[in-house]
Amino acid sequence: MALKIEMLRAFCTVAQTGNLSEAANRLGRTQSAVSMTLKQMEDHLGKRLFEGERKNQLSPLGEQVFELAQKQVRRFDQTVQSIELAAEAAHGLLQIVSVPSVAALVFPPVLEHMTARHPGLKVELRDTDTQEVLDALAEGKADIGIASGYHPLNGVRAVPLFADRFGLVCATDHPLHRQETAPTIADVISSSFVRNALCGLIRNERFVEASSNADVTIHNTHSLITMVRTGKWVTVLPQTVARFMPEATAFRPIADLPDKREVYLYQRERSRFAALAEECCAFIQSCDLSGDPG
């Protein structure tokens, strides 16, 4: 039998839980059903997906399949959700996807503005990384996207939204915040520097080189803030992101790092409720988002 979504889903669940009964539980099936599904899958592929007698160790092939399957399952579920959402929304639907840092800034006013003006309008807001924002636009899962950098995409209009200077983020009592002269790249890197996902956007050669052997990289913003608040660690972020940092942290430009993060607003050209998307984009552009009007 051919591979099916439910087969992939079962496999992923087992791979994650590491045992059949727990997986069966999560899937709402019996253990034996899951066992048989898995056997079908292995038979079909002609190779084992697990090593050893139990299901707690993936084979190399299993690892690879797991990665593929998991992405596929997630994507499928998301598509289903999108389709169902689209079907429910009779009076209009606006799907907006953004990188988290801008989402926090944009979603509240957008939501207020659009729902007030359009009773019955359904709005879906989602935040993920730039890559997925672009995916969502390309696949028709989003009408409007906000992401870092310029990425030409068929059928999607891109306009610059704002630019945002990178700078040091550290605790207010950190030496680099207290010192009089603006810190340099060397200063920052030689402190206990934590890389983060947004650092990847900096093309500045000296920074790239200096930060390439940073020991710690944190992707989750919340954890990042926690680290910085201890006063022991510092990081580099765009200024608007730093706006959402708590009291005891501060943002400071870095003397020899003039780089900015360029944030673009993406808009699908063909969408079911084009007028709504148009209105929403106009509103987003009318907001003053830049924390750094220079």
Partner DNA sequence: AAAGCAACTTCAGGAAAGTTGAAGAATGGC
Partner DNA sequence: GCCATTCTTCAACTTTCCTGAAGTTGCTTT
Of 88 and 247, the one with the shorter C-beta distance to its own copies is 88
Q: Is 20 in the site for DNA (CB under 7 A)?
A: yes
Could you tell which of its own copies, DNA, none binds residue 151, using a CB distance below 5 to 8 A set by kind? its own copies
Alpha-carbon span 154 to 151, nearest angstrom: 10
Between residues 30 and 190, which has the closer beta carbon with respect to DNA?
30
Query: In which residue are the tokens 């889903």 written?
Result: 9
Contact between 201 and DNA by CB under 7 A: the answer reads no
Q: How many angstroms separate the CA atoms of 21 and 23, rounded?
A: 5
Q: What's the min distance (Å) between Cβ of 130 and DNA?
A: 37
Least distance (Å) between residue 53 CB and DNA: 4
Does residue 35 interact with DNA by CB under 7 A?
A: yes
What, of its own copies, DNA, none, does residue 35 touch, CB below 5 to 8 Å by kind?
DNA
**For residues 111 and 159, is the Cβ–Cβ distance under 8 A?**
no
CB of 24 to DNA, least distance (A): 7
CB of 37 to DNA, least distance (A): 6
Q: Which of residues 37-96 bind DNA (CB under 7 A)?
A: 37-40, 52-56
Please say whether the beta carbons of 100 and 221 come within 8 A. Answer: yes
Q: Which residues bind its own copies (CB under 8 A)?
A: 2-5, 8, 45-47, 60-61, 63-65, 67-69, 71-72, 75-76, 79-80, 82-84, 86-88, 129, 131, 134-135, 138-141, 149-154, 197, 200-201, 203, 219, 271-272
| Smallest separation (angstroms) from DNA to the CB of 42 | 8
